[in-house]
Structure 1
Amino acid sequence: MSQTENRTRFRVEGMDCASCAAKVETAALRVPGVEAVMVSVTAATMVVTHGDDADMRALARSIGRLGYPTSRLDDGGKAAGHDHAHAHAHAADIVDAPWWNAPKVRPAAASGVALAIATAFGVLAPSLATPAFLLALAIGLVPIARRAVMAALAGSPFSIETLMTVAAVGAVLIGAAEEAAVVVFLFLVGEVLEGIAAARARASISSLVGLVPKTARVERNGAVEDVPVEALAIGTVILVRPGDRLPADGTVEDGASHVDEAPVTGESMPRAKAKGDSVFAGTVNGAGVLRVRVTAAAEDNTIARIVRLVAEAQESRAPTERIIDRFARAYTPAIMALAALVAVAPPLLAGGDWSDWIYKGLALLLIGCPCALVISTPAAVAAGLSAGARRGLLMKGGAVLETVGRVTVMALDKTGTLTEGRPRVTDVLAFSAERTTVLSLAAALEAGSSHPFAVAILAAATEERVPLPPAGAARAVPGEGVEGKVGGVAFFLGSPEAAARRCALGETEAAAVASLQRTGKSLAVLVANGRIAGAIAVRDEPRVDARDGLDRLRAAGIRPLMLTGDTLASAEAVGSDLGIEVRAGLMPDDKRAIVMALRSEGAVVGKVGDGINDAPALAAAHVGIAMGGGTDVALETADAAILHGRVTDLADIVALSRAVMANIRQNIAVALGLKALFLVTTVLGVTGLWPAILADTGATVLVTANAMRLLGWRPSAAAASGKPAWAFREPTHSQGGAGVV
């Protein structure tokens, strides 16, 4: 008898990292009737595909016992049934509550206080130090051990919590209660930091909806009234004043203006809009009044789709587990089984002495205690994260640090990522006036304007120190440009099309304008008293280090690819300068689709961007990297951030990842090598318990010292090779400050 395939969404609270997601997924898959599970830490959601006979209440209870309160959501993302109000109020509390009220802060704080008290006893009353450290260890370890037990019952017996519990108990058995208490405290602090990062990411994505106004102005019966955006029906005509954000997607019915579409497309220059043109919710109207016919309901507008795309991308992205988690799954049970086998097999099979072989089994368990691994692997990750942070390379945890080094395709946004993110004057054409006169008059007309074109012209005029005469009766001409009088002469500065309507361009002038437009530049033509005086071209230029940065990515075996919402002409002009493959004219869901297609082809995808329009693709990639100066949403959706905005930093973050992974492999080899040596010698009776334990302690010191060497990591042009990066020196060229926004 066939079953219907159903999809049910849940809100899952308390998840901080990919390890949490893995445990939740495992527990859900153990429920009869569940066929597939997708978990998103950032969205705090879980989507379950199941048959008709699956008990969703039992699933929620099972996950709740792991320490992750779970409630069912309806199709709109709201809590279903009687849990609706409670779940939404609680979700708001999660976003708004200060970090120190988070559930995981209390055990970390209690562990820290107990550890401080035990340390004080160690100084003031040494005889009480050991009991004090044991008590401090118990305070921190009990919640970890409880989660280990619940995870084991839910199908994850060898989780990071199990590994921590075994390591702590083993450390106590060899008389290292102090070290065990410190390791447990640091583990709890790390969980708190992961929780803060996850909460901030959830809050930033939720804040996207704030880009759309709550109300819209609707003309009815000759009057204008404000109505809630949710009440706008398709076909309603709304009035959008200069400077307002558009409350809905629609088509211009009347009026002309320039609209800043950066939140949606990322394009640096506002686009001219006139009757029949499409406009998007969340974009900003310029100087003209627009009447817009609504074409999409509030839940289907552009910003709402971006929010959904981010959530869907997070839900569909398989969690990357911690390195130590993957290792623990095999290592911990293997050591336990080997110790039990050594203790029991010889007496049973060969008549060996029970006390002798139990002693050897205990010795093996203690020797195999993963203290060195638990300490050294996080030490390498922490050192790598710290070394990167000091140089403006931020990564949200060890899983991100691991994945960055495996990237094979780096998809980069154009505006604000490969380019400076603001237009600059590139050419001043002089036709019937001198070059400095053209720039001076244009700056006079644009004085006081905040339009990106005006800002670029004023910056060029300031840089070249041209005079700035006063302009009288200056006013914006919606959708065309600006006009005014300077010295009693009428001037107009605007698009070539608008200028041509006032004065015909000669053959030479038209050819010069067209030539610049073919290179992706935007032009403003200056008309003086009915004659073409000159023209000014602006373009968002590539960062000075962009070419070098892309070359270094290629040298590291990574294919760069430009994904941009800008026009094809502008994108190809920049792409030609930088020698990068271009895909232009993309909406946010187009970028996400390309990232998903690359993933399906087997590529490990890194996505680099700085805008809200990049958020869905950042979430869909294996690693999302936000450029410095980007929006809060991009920074929080991304897994990593390049704070200084240098394209060369992308190769550096890859090199840092590869250096850390090489260090971890070295640490594991040293720790396991020494353990294997003493496991053999102990079983053979060559060494006793204490020499083996001392050797294990020595291994801990060695691998920790090796990990600390990463603190000396320095970026360099050769860093992408994967060699130990601490061996490199700072580059001697001057690119270090290039491209900072």
Structure 2
Amino acid sequence: MKEKYDVIGMSCSACSAHIDKAIRHLDGVVDVNVNLLSNSMVVEYDENQLNQASIIQAVENAGYKAALENNSVTSKQQEESVDHKKRSLILSFVFLIPLFYISMGHMMGAPLPSLLTDHENMMVFALTQLFLTLPIMYINRGYFQRGFQALLHKSPNMDTLIAMGSSAAAIYSIYAIFMMGYDLGHGDMVGAHQYMMQLYFESAGMILTLISLGKYLESRSKKKTTQAIEKLMNLMPSVATILVDGQEKVVDIQDVKIGDIVVVKSGQSIPVDGVIVKGQTSIDESMITGESLPVDKGLHDQVIGATMNVDGYIHVQATHTSGDTTLSQIIALVEDASSSKAPIAKLADQISGIFVPIVMSISLLTFITWMTLGGQTFHFALTCAIAVLVISCPCALGLATPTAIMVGTGKGAQLGILIKSAENLELLSKAKSIVLDKTGTMTKGKPQVTEVYPIDIDKTDLLKIAGSLESASQHPIAKAIVSYIQSQNIDFQTIENFEMLQGKGLKGKQNEHIFLSGNQRLMEENQVDLSDVHQLASELAMSGKTPLYYARDGMIIGLIVVSDVLKETTKEAIQQLKHKGLSIYMLTGDNALTAKAIGKQLDIEVIAEVLPQDKEKHIRDLQSKGERVIMVGDGINDAPALMRADIGIAMTSGTDIAMDSADIVLMKNDLQDVVNAIDLSHAVIKNIKENLFWAFFYNVIGIPIAAGVFYPFLGWLLDPMFGAAAMSLSSVFVVSNALRLRFFKPKTKREKTEEKMMKKKMNIEGMMCAHCQAHVEKALNGIDGVKAEVDLKNNCAYLELSQDVAEATLTKAVEDAGYTVKGFE
């Protein structure tokens, strides 16, 4: 039996590893996968030897909580967790800011109330800091509960380090308050003042608050990631129209049975997988196959649930129920890939496993040694023991990773690279293989006219005829051809007797001539002789392009070639990835001819006509060889592979599902940003290792001095105040080093490409509000090669053109949206 559990209380990879170990020791366990990202665990076990209660008890004995998965409850808990962390963080800062001002303000010459200054107010000064620190410690009590509980279970983690660090600073400060009171009571003002300068409450507050900030950001990322499966489920229509005794009846999707006849009209989503038994149509399968062009379908052709019926009326006989469709299988794969992805062991967590017990042991040994062998006072022994803890405070260790990650991910965001967690960066730097989707990732994802071949006719006349025919159609290929003709500043007329021939093409009449536009089957049915273009059409098909035939009065007059072309930066990005030593693969659901043509052009390995399940399988096959794999995609069909890969990278031009399933999102839809992301990951991981060095540098030097090792020989002894200063200095080094990542510069050549962009100003009339602004921006940005920003106040739009776009095309887009163009500058 295989079951999934929600696990509460994990904070780092040491936690997930400890739970994994605890469950594997149970008799009857076949396999276990603990997922830190989704706070879940999948256990496969022999139900004759083990039960749910024993598994849950084992998790609780390890110091955590578990329950059988409940998606609705989990989603609610996750929402509450993010909100709780946000409230706790705000409250922590509310108390931290005055605490810092009071404790450090006098050192910077800031004015303090007279109640907190001078010798007679030393106890008020100290107690004010204590009472500002206690709320911060209470608000963040979870670190102490989890940290010390983990320590009791002999599995120290980052929570243990946080708890130890803040506790060491707070306990010593409380000890200093007691000594202040003692010295004041005995009239020793010098001694009391010395202890007043040894209060480290602000250190305890800072550790807890900064770590809480990182935890809050992490929780937000986790919340977004787990929404992917829910969005997948929402793609399937909730109802279907079926034929019952010849009458249409709307039923719940769950009530559709195998063999039912489902009616699907133009513009509707197909409810279930099935076979067409009546009608012809074009179906947009891009969300499943990745194919950018709609696919013509007729009798006995198979259709996939959740795909879009573009422009036909069909009857579909259901071959699968709603729970067994292709989309349902994709959802299952996403869930499985998410739950089986192994957590990454953080370097800081590995170090914490030995660092905390060693420091505690040294501190205890220091106290015992000076009490038994050194002949020193209790005060001396305690001071040395606490000095060891203070200088060993893991504040810098706690900052080493999050500061570098925070700066690195912030820099990534500036570059249009959205990175969801630290472990994504860590894995990205170690990847050896990269798998690329084709449509929308390597290519533009939209059909475009690439070639025009007139036959016994002028090219302009061919385009006029094509424009007249295609302007009456809403098919994506027709729209691409019309857009191209408009960009050439060619006018065309309205066609007469327009007729759409489902699955074949278009027919119309103009000036007493009969025109045809469509595929080879349409031409053959109308006895159009294609012998003159047969070889050309074959060569185009072999190169993966789609030729559209045009005929006049039964005679072929030309071909217009439409294809999904490579993005301008794809070739350069592929070369850069090769130079980094990455093995590159292209997996696509597109036809083999198109895919192989692109593979030959880029000199990469290609696997075409791959179903979504097979994409995920290819990722697993590469991982089984010990390779860390990057997957880059943009479609729903890529979601299982994105989740299965060690690192999933999605384009924002794709679906929300792909972006939610991915670990990294590229805002600029540019493969060059994959190169930039890899370079950034190497820079961040290097920075983290440097930070960890600085985090321990002062400990290695200071711990022996703090313990009094050199006191009998050289008289060296580290005052806790100087220990805290050293600790703070190591934190300054860590933060300063992390800030260097702000100067990271990508090595790609996009800047040169951007410099070539043409700029124009378009003056527009008729815009009245923000909705108008949005309509115009949408219309202009929908044109290939156009980036538009509309200025409502000045009634204009600022355009950046990455390719030559005719002003007539720009004008038509705005006028179609309902506004008037007054000219260009």
State if a TM-score over 0.5 links the two structures: yes
C-alpha distance in 1 between matches for 2:391 and 2:670: 47
Q: Give, in angstroms, the shift of residue 343 of structure 1.
A: 3.8
**Kept in 1: contact 2:528–2:551 (CA 8 A):** no
Higher deviation after alignment, 135-144 or 122-131: 122-131
Query: Is the aligned partner of 1:316 residue 2:335?
Result: no
In structure 2, the partner of 1:704 is 735
Instruction: Spell out the pairing of 1:547-586 with structure 2 (5 A cutoff).
Output: 547-586=571-610
Flag the 1:499–1:659 CA change in 2: closer, same or farther, 3 A: same
Q: CA RMSD in A?
A: 2.8
Query: Is the aligned partner of 1:538 residue 2:521?
Result: no
Flag the 1:681–1:135 CA change in 2: closer, same or farther, 3 A: closer
Q: Give, in angstroms, the shift of residue 735 of structure 1.
A: 5.8
C-alpha distance in 1 between matches for 2:584 and 2:68: 41
C-alpha distance in 2 between matches for 1:100 and 1:620: 26
- Alignment-mate amino acid for residue 689 of structure 1: L
In structure 1, the partner of 2:177 is none
Instruction: Spell out the pairing of 1:420-439 with structure 2 (5 A cutoff).
Output: 420-439=444-463
Flag the 1:360–1:181 CA change in 2: closer, same or farther, 3 A: closer
Please point out which of 143, 155, 158 is paired with 2:156.
Answer: 158
- Alignment-mate amino acid for residue 688 of structure 1: L
Please point out which of 73, 79, 103 is paired with 1:90.
Answer: 73
Please point out which of 33, 48, 54 is paired with 2:50.
Answer: 54
Q: Secondary structure at the match of 2:700?
A: helix
C-alpha distance in 1 between matches for 2:703 and 2:786: 54
Q: Give, in angstroms, the shift of residue 457 of structure 1.
A: 0.4
In structure 1, the partner of 2:142 is 143
Q: Give, in angstroms, the shift of residue 633 of structure 1.
A: 0.8
Flag the 1:699–1:114 CA change in 2: closer, same or farther, 3 A: closer
Deviations 1:536-573 (A, max 9, x none): 11111111111111111111221221111111111111
Q: Secondary structure at the match of 1:635?
A: helix
**Kept in 2: contact 1:242–1:288 (CA 8 A):** yes
Instruction: Spell out the pairing of 1:633-648 with structure 2 (5 A cutoff).
Output: 633-648=657-672
In structure 2, the partner of 1:76 is none
Flag the 1:301–1:152 CA change in 2: closer, same or farther, 3 A: farther
Flag the 1:231–1:150 CA change in 2: closer, same or farther, 3 A: farther
Flag the 1:587–1:242 CA change in 2: closer, same or farther, 3 A: same
C-alpha distance in 2 between matches for 1:194 and 1:64: 24
C-alpha distance in 2 between matches for 1:218 and 1:518: 41
Deviations 1:277-314 (A, max 9, x none): 21111111121222212111211101111110000011
C-alpha distance in 2 between matches for 1:12 and 1:490: 69
In structure 2, the partner of 1:713 is 744
Query: Is the aligned partner of 1:110 residue 2:91?
Result: yes
C-alpha distance in 2 between matches for 1:572 and 1:180: 61
Instruction: Spell out the pairing of 1:620-659 with structure 2 (5 A cutoff).
Output: 620-659=644-683
Flag the 1:131–1:667 CA change in 2: closer, same or farther, 3 A: same
Deviations 1:472-500 (A, max 9, x none): 23232111112222334221211122222
What is the TM-score of this pair, normalised by structure 1?
0.89
Flag the 1:64–1:204 CA change in 2: closer, same or farther, 3 A: farther
Query: Is the aligned partner of 1:249 residue 2:273?
Result: yes
How many residues align? The count is 707
**Kept in 2: contact 1:14–1:195 (CA 8 A):** no
**Kept in 2: contact 1:241–1:285 (CA 8 A):** yes
In structure 2, the partner of 1:368 is 392
Q: Secondary structure at the match of 1:734?
A: helix
Q: Secondary structure at the match of 1:733?
A: helix
C-alpha distance in 2 between matches for 1:700 and 1:677: 15
Query: Is the aligned partner of 1:39 residue 2:22?
Result: no
Q: Secondary structure at the match of 2:243?
A: strand
In structure 2, the partner of 1:78 is none
**Kept in 2: contact 1:141–1:165 (CA 8 A):** no
Q: Secondary structure at the match of 1:38?
A: strand
Q: Secondary structure at the match of 1:104?
A: helix
Q: Give, in angstroms, the shift of residue 352 of structure 1.
A: 6.5
- Alignment-mate amino acid for residue 108 of structure 1: L
**Kept in 1: contact 2:528–2:554 (CA 8 A):** no
**Kept in 2: contact 1:339–1:365 (CA 8 A):** yes
Q: Give, in angstroms, the shift of residue 223 of structure 1.
A: 0.8
Flag the 1:618–1:20 CA change in 2: closer, same or farther, 3 A: farther
Please point out which of 417, 423, 429 is paired with 2:441.
Answer: 417
Q: Which runs of 5+ in 2 are unaligned?
A: 104-110, 117-124, 173-197, 758-784, 788-825
Flag the 1:699–1:105 CA change in 2: closer, same or farther, 3 A: closer
Q: Give, in angstroms, the shift of residue 47 of structure 1.
A: 1.4
Instruction: Spell out the pairing of 1:340-351 with structure 2 (5 A cutoff).
Output: 340-344=364-368
Higher deviation after alignment, 54-63 or 475-484: 54-63
Identity of aligned residues (%): 29
What is the TM-score of this pair, normalised by structure 2?
0.80
Flag the 1:596–1:118 CA change in 2: closer, same or farther, 3 A: same
Q: Give, in angstroms, the shift of residue 177 of structure 1.
A: 2.1
In structure 2, the partner of 1:607 is 631
- Alignment-mate amino acid for residue 114 of structure 1: F
Q: Give, in angstroms, the shift of residue 69 of structure 1.
A: 6.0
Flag the 1:519–1:71 CA change in 2: closer, same or farther, 3 A: same
Q: Give, in angstroms, the shift of residue 508 of structure 1.
A: 2.6
Q: Give, in angstroms, the shift of residue 358 of structure 1.
A: 5.5
Instruction: Spell out the pairing of 1:8-407 with structure 2 (5 A cutoff).
Output: 8-12=3-7, 21-22=16-17, 24-26=19-21, 28-29=23-24, 33-40=28-35, 45-51=40-46, 52-60=48-56, 63=59, 70-73=66-69, 87=70, 89-91=72-74, 93-94=76-77, 102-116=83-97, 118=99, 125=113, 126=116, 127=125, 129-152=128-151, 155=153, 157-172=155-170, 173=172, 175-344=199-368, 355=378, 359-407=383-431
Flag the 1:450–1:337 CA change in 2: closer, same or farther, 3 A: farther
Higher deviation after alignment, 63-72 or 303-312: 63-72
C-alpha distance in 2 between matches for 1:16 and 1:457: 55
Deviations 1:353-385 (A, max 9, x none): 585665444333322222222123321111111
**Kept in 2: contact 1:121–1:132 (CA 8 A):** no
In structure 2, the partner of 1:694 is 725
- Alignment-mate amino acid for residue 53 of structure 2: R
Deviations 1:51-73 (A, max 9, x none): 43434225335657999764325
Flag the 1:141–1:410 CA change in 2: closer, same or farther, 3 A: same
Q: Give, in angstroms, the shift of residue 736 of structure 1.
A: 7.9
Q: Give, in angstroms, the shift of residue 440 of structure 1.
A: 2.1
Q: Secondary structure at the match of 2:609?
A: coil
From the CA coordinates, give the structure whose radius of gyration is larger.
2
Q: Secondary structure at the match of 1:206?
A: helix
Q: Which runs of 5+ in 1 are unaligned?
A: 1-5, 74-86, 718-729
In structure 2, the partner of 1:722 is none
Flag the 1:146–1:29 CA change in 2: closer, same or farther, 3 A: farther
Q: Give, in angstroms, the shift of residue 255 of structure 1.
A: 1.7
In structure 2, the partner of 1:725 is none
Q: Secondary structure at the match of 1:239?
A: strand
Flag the 1:487–1:338 CA change in 2: closer, same or farther, 3 A: farther
In structure 1, the partner of 2:753 is 734
